[in-house]
Amino acid sequence: MTEPYGDEDPDVATDADSRIWERLRPLFTTVEYRMDRTLQSRHGVSLASLMTLGAVARGRPEPATVGEVARRLGVTASSASRALAQLERSGWVRRVPSPADRRTSRVEMTRAGHDKWEEARHTLDRELDAAFRVLAFDERYAHVVARLCRAPGSVPRRERPAPS
């Protein structure tokens, strides 16, 4: 199946985007479920916890604020704070007072958190690669996977005709 993009009618483009979203949701759910089960069984960490740990790891060596973690995850500060509290209970992160403003805290990864991140992120990368290789040959998802795996900037821009 091919999806139009480029100089097509805007209604056709919207319909194509809608069809991609309809396929993306079950694909995401399938991949997320498999990743979570694999990470739980091999490393004792959920996908959500690992993604939160990864958001903290991206700021290393500087501790991150809860807001920075929330932005990296695309969630609210409240959701990020709850996820960080779980990581803190696991001993993978700790909150430290901000030197600039003692009313706020920053989140830093502990040695145990760093070890867990290094151990589990390779599994995540391998399993994601494997999932996309399998899904690329599934006719329900092949087109979506192909579009997700394109290099940044390789998707043709949709040009609108200049006003007359």
Backbone angles phi and psi of 103, in degrees to 5:
-80, -20
pLDDT tens-digit profile of 8-61? 555 555 666 677 667 667 777 877 888 899 999 999 999 999 999 999 998 677
pTM value is 0.67
Cα–Cα distances in Å, from 15 out to 26, 75, 76? 18, 28, 30
Beta bridge partners of 109: 93
> From the CB of residue 109, how many other CB atoms can be counted at a distance below 10 Å?
22
> Has residue 118 been placed in a domain?
yes
> Has residue 158 been placed in a domain?
no
pLDDT tens-digit profile of 133-146? 766 666 666 666 66
> Has residue 161 been placed in a domain?
no
- Give residues with Cβ within 8 angstroms of 122, minimum separation 6: none
More confident: 139 or 72: 72
> Has residue 3 been placed in a domain?
no
Whose tokens are 């200049």? That residue is: 162
Specify the number of domains making up the chain: 1
CATH number assigned to the domain comprising residue 94 = 1.10.10.10
What range does the domain containing 78 cover? 10-148
> Has residue 154 been placed in a domain?
no
